[in-house]
Amino acid sequence: MKVLMTGATGFVGRETARALSEAGHQVSPVVRAGDGFRVASIDGYTDWSGAFEGVQAVIHLAARVHRMDDRSADPLAAFRAVNTIGTERLARAAAAAGVLRFVFVSSVKAVGEASPPDGVIDETTVPQPADPYGISKLEAEQALLQVAVDTGMQVVIVRPPLVYGPGVGANFRALVHAVARGWPLPLACVRNRRSLVAVGNLADALRCCVEHPAAAGRTYFVTDGEDAGTAELCQRIGRALGRPARLLPVPVVLLRLAGTLTGRSAAVNRLTGSLVLDSSRIRRELGWQPPQTMDEALAAMVVAECAS
């Protein structure tokens, strides 16, 4: 089928476009410049006229994401303009054009930042987003469900956790480089668990959500199916690099104190806290299985980073 995709040139979008193409689908990218349907931005004013010719499905990846240097006077309004209002406008335009299915890539942040002690987050967990980005994503989910009621267009919501793989940026890439350079990391005392998803696994799940009839109207968490604590993740990265990770036994309470003193509490909480997701629903209902194990995906990422 022909699939319109926003965010097609991004980290997840490139891999998803490849997965769709390999499955025989035609990808119609939404771009700011270059080949595809051009838009200056995605918000409540975007003109989608002519975007959906021959399109049967939409994958909406583009979003305003969290930035450390965000200087918006009203961050929630800025996130809503793109992530909530822009998403709803795109969905209503797609439905009016006769698009059959709309796959929305939301985020675990629409539900929360941490799993309960000795528990997991699944699709029945009551959402409690903790920041403007998460709030805007949850509101977008709610708006899309109303679009589905109003128009009959099939909506699928996918909530990934942290995505990693070749080309990953930000903190995950910095962690890989730290292990590769043998830098000592004060993480040996961290005893947490976090769910992750390799970019290739997420791309394959999005392809499945486009294709499978049973995905209509459903919400799914997508993970690798294996959870790793921060210390274990460093060790796995080290094995992929062929060198041991150097982990120092610094008490977690001191790490959190350092985070408070340096204004980086959120980053330290992500390193030390747990976020465990149950992604069994998509496996059970769609028969989906991740194509890569975590170790295979980490090895592919390390090869790409070393080659760059």
Dist. CA 8–CA 14, nearest whole Å: 6
∠ CA 297-302-305, rounded to 5°? 125
SS3 content of the chain, % helix, strand, coil (to 5): 45, 15, 40
Tell which residue, 286, 198, 141, 196, has the closest CA to residue 19: 198
> What does DSSP assign to residue 306?
H
Joined together, the tokens standing for residue 117 give: 């002690």
Joined together, the tokens standing for residue 11 give: 């980290």
Torsion of CA 121, 122, 126, 131, to 10 degrees: 60
Tell which residue, 206, 199, 217, 226, has the closest CA to residue 280: 226
Pairing of strands 101-105, 26-31: unpaired
220 is catalytic: no
Q: Cα separations (Å) of 150 from 4, 92, 145, 190, 214?
A: 21, 9, 9, 48, 20
Torsion of CA 233, 236, 240, 241, to 10 degrees: 70
Radius of gyration of the chain (CA): 20
Catalytic residues, which ones? 133
